[in-house]
């Protein structure tokens, strides 16, 4: 934890293996702690976390707010529809308004790529200490989702030591709409950093071949990759190629709202070719867990009975793990500016 240096959390391309370890280790401790009701941790007492979601959310927003409250922070929730955005106030002025009210952390979601980064840069330029945490931006990044997926998989493979090492040499298959998925992009950085090989499966319109090189170079503006050895990325077109030997399967929501071009003509056909069912998963050759970041289009990405089969589906587990992961992120960000909460030492 002592090496944590991210003031803002904008993507996972800049995360080192130590960063992943810090988040997973801390989240595992939070997950094991009874921190509801009166037994909240005082770590963020006197701090203000504002959730600025300019795009709809159920899971991310609620779990960030719950995470902040469990660490004793004050929480302010911004709702675009009833805000002064409708009177012409800019997004930056909206953010500055929350900073003026004392926000220590802004959790920002926006449908346009790089809005959280632009806000972070603007606040840095004006000397504000407020940190920005990306709650999902356009097609770019959804770091807290990537981390909760990583933790969920690590915990599945090694419940006693759910750390990055648990992913080493695993074959993780991601199926579906990779092109429009910030979750897939964050998972690619996180999983390959931990030594997993990732197989992307879908039609060329949703899984372009050039995703094989996605993690080969850091994104523009980042000088180097902090991870020395990453797992591989492969692109295949059929589940028959993808699933044999898989250790886990993740399917992604078909993002109809982002499909400005006609990339898919027929949802029934997508389900026939790429929809996951109990029968299809037998291709893996062994029982494997199924993940989905949600929200799910039942009957499209997967059969409804598979989603409800808790011996296979980790979807609710992913939601549950979102809270300790987000507690860990808020805790670590607060610790950049101050001493860590001594009450954590007691939990070992």
Give the footprint of ligand CP on this chain (CB under 6 A): 57-60, 136, 145, 293-295
Residue 7 DSSP one-character state: S
Q: CB of 341: closest distance to ligand CP in angstroms?
A: 27
Query: Beta 48-53 vs 105-110: how paired, if at all?
Result: parallel
Of 136 and 143, the one with the shorter C-beta distance to ligand CP is: 136
CB 195 within 8 A of CB 270: no
Q: CB of 259: closest distance to ligand CP in angstroms?
A: 17
Q: CB of 111: closest distance to ligand CP in angstroms?
A: 11
Phi and psi of 174, rounded to 5°? -115, 125
First vs last C-alpha separation in the chain: 13
3-state SS, one letter per residue, for 280-298: HHHHHCCCCCEECCCCCCE
Query: Beta 248-251 vs 290-291: how paired, if at all?
Result: parallel
Of 218 and 294, the one with the shorter C-beta distance to ligand CP is: 294
Of 64 and 214, the one with the shorter C-beta distance to ligand CP is: 64
Cross-strand pairs, 302: 276, 298
Of 57 and 72, the one with the shorter C-beta distance to ligand CP is: 57
Q: CB of 196: closest distance to ligand CP in angstroms?
A: 20
Of 83 and 111, the one with the shorter C-beta distance to ligand CP is: 111
CA nearest to 104, candidates 310, 335, 325:
335
What DSSP string describes 303-331? Answer: -HHHHT-TTTB-HHHHHHHHHHHHHHHHH
Residue 210 and residue 219: Cα distance in Å, rounded? Answer: 14
Q: CB of 70: closest distance to ligand CP in angstroms?
A: 18
Residue 174 and residue 6: Cα distance in Å, rounded? Answer: 28
Of 143 and 162, the one with the shorter C-beta distance to ligand CP is: 143
Q: CB of 57: closest distance to ligand CP in angstroms?
A: 3
Residue 13 and residue 227: Cα distance in Å, rounded? Answer: 9
Non-local (6+) Cβ contacts of 24 within 8 A are 147, 150, 151, 154, 162, 163, 164, 328
Q: Which residues of 211-246 are buried (b: 16+ CB within 10 A; e: fewer)?
A: beebbeeeeeeeeebebeebbebbbbbebeebbeeb
Q: CB of 136: closest distance to ligand CP in angstroms?
A: 6
Of 136 and 275, the one with the shorter C-beta distance to ligand CP is: 136
Of 60 and 192, the one with the shorter C-beta distance to ligand CP is: 60
Of 63 and 99, the one with the shorter C-beta distance to ligand CP is: 63
CB 323 within 8 A of CB 70: yes
Q: CB of 273: closest distance to ligand CP in angstroms?
A: 24
Q: CB of 63: closest distance to ligand CP in angstroms?
A: 8
């Amino acid at each position: 934890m002592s090496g944590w240096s991210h003031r803002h959390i904008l993507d996972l391309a800049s995360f080192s293996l130590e960063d992943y370890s810090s988040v997973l280790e801390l989240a595992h401790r939070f997950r094991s702690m009874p921190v509801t009701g009166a037994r909240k941790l005082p770590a963020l007492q006197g701090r203000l976390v504002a959730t600025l979601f300019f795009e709809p959310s159920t899971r991310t927003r609620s779990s960030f707010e719950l995470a902040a409250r469990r660490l004793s922070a004050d929480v302010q929730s911004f709702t675009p529809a009833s805000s002064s955005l409708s009177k012409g106030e800019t997004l930056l002025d909206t953010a500055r308004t929350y900073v003026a009210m004392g926000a220590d952390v802004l959790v920002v979601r926006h449908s346009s790529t790089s809005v959280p980064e632009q806000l972070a840069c603007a606040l840095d330029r004006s000397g504000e200490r407020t940190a920005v945490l990306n709650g999902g931006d356009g097609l770019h990044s959804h770091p807290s989702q990537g981390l909760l997926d990583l933790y969920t998989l690590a915990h599945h493979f090694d419940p006693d030591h759910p750390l990055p090492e648990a992913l080493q040499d695993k074959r993780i298959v991601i199926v579906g709409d990779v092109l429009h998925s910030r979750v897939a992009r964050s998972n690619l950085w996180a999983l390959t950093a931990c030594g997993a090989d990732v197989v992307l499966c879908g039609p060329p319109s949703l899984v372009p071949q050039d995703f094989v090189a996605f993690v080969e170079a850091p994104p523009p503006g980042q000088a180097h990759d902090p991870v020395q050895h990453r797992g591989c990325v492969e692109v295949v077109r059929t589940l028959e190629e993808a699933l044999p030997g898989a250790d886990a399967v993740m399917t992604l929501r078909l993002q109809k709202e982002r499909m400005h071009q006609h990339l898919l003509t027929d949802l029934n056909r997508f389900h026939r070719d790429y929809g996951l069912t109990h029968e299809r998963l037998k291709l893996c050759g062994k029982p494997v867990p199924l993940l989905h970041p949600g929200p799910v289009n039942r009957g499209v990405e997967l059969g409804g009975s598979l989603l409800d089969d808790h011996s296979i589906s980790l979807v609710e587990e992913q939601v549950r793990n979102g809270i300790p992961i987000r507690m860990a992120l808020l805790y670590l960000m607060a610790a950049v500016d101050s001493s860590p909460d001594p009450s954590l030492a007691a939990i070992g």
